[in-house]
């Protein structure tokens, strides 16, 4: 079985490398010349766990769309469905709401299906892009021909850990339009792992994907509410509160996403909540839950900004350590620490951000002042803070240091 990818970006290429590592022949098409350069130089310009090692020995080739179609049994389509930059979670939420942008996906599917029809043979096409419920039926199915056997298979991965997440998922979600295609895909996945294969309608799968992502945002907003309560309530410690909740694995929760700190981020969570907020308004729901989650995230970031300003001398610089949306990656999409920077700058605060995985050759001139840990990189646990500085740590992990004042939010 040969595998093709219509798109080899930050989701497609790591996924293709993961599939190739299982012994499959993989080819791909991508119009971006930087992708071809990445494959030729075997150097990944972004940080992905395990990707560089697989890239160093890959045989994946960039081919034309006709060659992709003729040489592939299954074609994955990870074409981006971007949101307007205002809806990525690094700025305040605008009053209006918009759906994702589906133009790139529609163009790609139209071109791909046209080549499949030219070939005159059935091909399995699996869309993995994130879309809102009803999108594929409304926007995609009218574009495909009879030989395009379509299914919807959104991945539950996080940027930075795409490969291990793909190879070891909780389950595989599959929205079925063609049962023959679903059968072939299920056979394929049995060679990758032994996790459950959940088949349902395309509409259900569309909703399950964004519900999964927004549920994570809900958990993080909830635990950060507890952190704020603990910070304002003498005798309370957020880590002790959440350690108890983590024991309630039958009725409440797993232990994941229940550590207080910053809000959620990445290319899925903020934008999916805001998109579902738009859908809530389109459907005239009685209550826009998703807006509440994002407003909680924004208001919690304002609370952190308030705390910084309490400790900062007016006119001094505030240092935010960490730009990425989660530890040990250099990806900044949806970063809550960038949202914090933007809120502080709205208030006239001079902010310098530093992330060792991004600013390798641009080290600031660190001065005594207020330092905020925006990303829980290991590097910052024992960072050399200037003597006399105040360090605000929402994660509770910075090492003791007698030369500075450390505020472990909700843990004093």
Average pLDDT over every residue of 360-364: 84
Is residue 282 located within the same domain as residue 168?
A: no
CA distance 391 to 374: 11
CB distance 135 to 102 below 8 Å: yes
Query: What tens digit of pLDDT does each residue of 135-149 get?
Result: 999 999 999 999 999
Encode pLDDT of 161-206 as tens digits.
999 999 999 999 999 999 999 999 999 999 999 999 999 999 999 9
Residue 290 has pLDDT above 90, yes or no: no
CATH number at residue 403: 3.40.50.720
User: Total structural domains in the chain?
Assistant: 2
DSSP state letter for 378: G
CA gap 320, 335 in Å, rounded: 12
| Shared domain check, 232 and 176 | no
Residues of the domain holding 146: 2-83+96-195
Structural tokens at position 153 = 């298979």
Whole-number percent of the chain with pLDDT over 90: 83
**Does residue 53 form part of some domain?**
yes
Task: State how far the Cα of 319 lies from the Cα of 263, in Å rounded to an integer.
Answer: 18
116 within 8 A of 147, measured Cβ to Cβ: yes
**Residue 9 and residue 47 in one domain:** yes
- Residue 301 phi/psi, 5° resolution? -70, -35
**Is position 112 within any domain?**
yes
As a whole number, mean pLDDT of residues 250-260 equals: 86
In whole angstroms, give the CA distance from residue 103 to residue 101: 6
Predicted local confidence at residue 276, as pLDDT: 85
For residues 401 and 292, state if they share a domain: yes
Closest CA to 149 of 141, 137, 157, 161: 141
Put simply, whether the predicted model's pTM sits higher than 0.85 gets the answer no
Q: What is the per-residue pLDDT across 233-248, written as a single tens digit (0 to 9) for each?
A: 899 999 999 999 999 9
Q: Are 251 and 327 in contact (CB under 8 A)?
A: no
Residue 200 lies inside a defined structural domain of this protein: no
For residues 260 and 387, membership in a common domain is answered with yes
Instruction: Name the nearest CA neighbour of 51 among 60, 175, 345.
Output: 60
Torsion (CA) 254, 173, 20, 12 in degrees, nearest 10: -90
> For residue 252, is pLDDT > 90?
no
Single out the residue in 195, 221, 253 at which a domain terminates. 195
State whether 302 and 336 are in the same domain. yes
């Amino acid at each position: 079985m040969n595998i093709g990818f219509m798109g080899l970006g930050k989701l497609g290429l790591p996924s293709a490398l993961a599939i190739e590592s299982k012994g499959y022949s993989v080819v791909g098409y991508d119009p971006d010349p930087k992708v071809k350069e990445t494959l030729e130089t075997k150097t990944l310009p972004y940080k992905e766990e395990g990707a560089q090692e697989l890239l160093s020995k890959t045989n994946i080739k960039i081919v034309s769309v006709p060659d992709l179609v003729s040489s592939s049994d299954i074609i994955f389509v990870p074409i981006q469905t971007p949101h307007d930059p205002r809806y990525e979670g690094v700025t305040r939420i605008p009053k209006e709401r918009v759906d994702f942008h589906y133009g790139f996906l529609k163009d790609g599917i139209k071109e791909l299906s046209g080549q499949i029809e030219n070939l005159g043979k059935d091909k399995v096409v699996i869309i993995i892009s994130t879309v809102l419920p009803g999108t594929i039926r409304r926007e995609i199915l009218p574009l495909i021909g009879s030989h395009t056997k379509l299914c919807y298979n959104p991945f539950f991965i996080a940027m930075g850990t795409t490969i291990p997440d793909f190879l070891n998922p909780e389950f595989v979600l599959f929205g079925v339009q063609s049962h023959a295609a679903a059968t072939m895909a299920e056979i394929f996945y049995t060679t990758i792992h032994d996790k459950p294969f959940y088949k349902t309608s395309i509409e259900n799968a569309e909703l399950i994907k964004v519900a999964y992502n927004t549920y994570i945002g809900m958990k993080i907003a909830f635990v950060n509410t507890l952190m704020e309560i603990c910070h304002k309530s003498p005798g309370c410690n957020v880590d002790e509160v959440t350690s108890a909740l983590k024991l309630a694995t039958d009725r409440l929760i797993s232990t994941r996403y229940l550590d207080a700190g910053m809000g959620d981020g990445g290319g899925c969570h903020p934008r999916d909540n805001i998109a579902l907020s738009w859908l809530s308004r389109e459907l005239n729901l009685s209550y826009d839950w998703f807006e509440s989650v994002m407003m909680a995230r924004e208001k919690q970031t304002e609370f952190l900004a308030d705390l910084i300003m309490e400790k900062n001398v007016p006119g001094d610089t505030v240092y935010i350590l960490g730009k990425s949306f989660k530890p040990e990656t250099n990806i900044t999409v949806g970063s809550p620490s960038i949202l914090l920077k933007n809120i502080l700058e709205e208030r006239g605060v001079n902010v310098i951000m530093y992330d060792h995985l991004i600013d390798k050759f641009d080290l600031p001139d660190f001065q005594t002042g207020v330092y905020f840990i925006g990303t829980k990189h290991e590097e910052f646990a024992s960072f050399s803070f200037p003597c006399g500085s105040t360090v605000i740590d929402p994660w509770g992990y910075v090492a003791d240091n007698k030369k500075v004042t450390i505020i472990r939010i909700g843990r004093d």
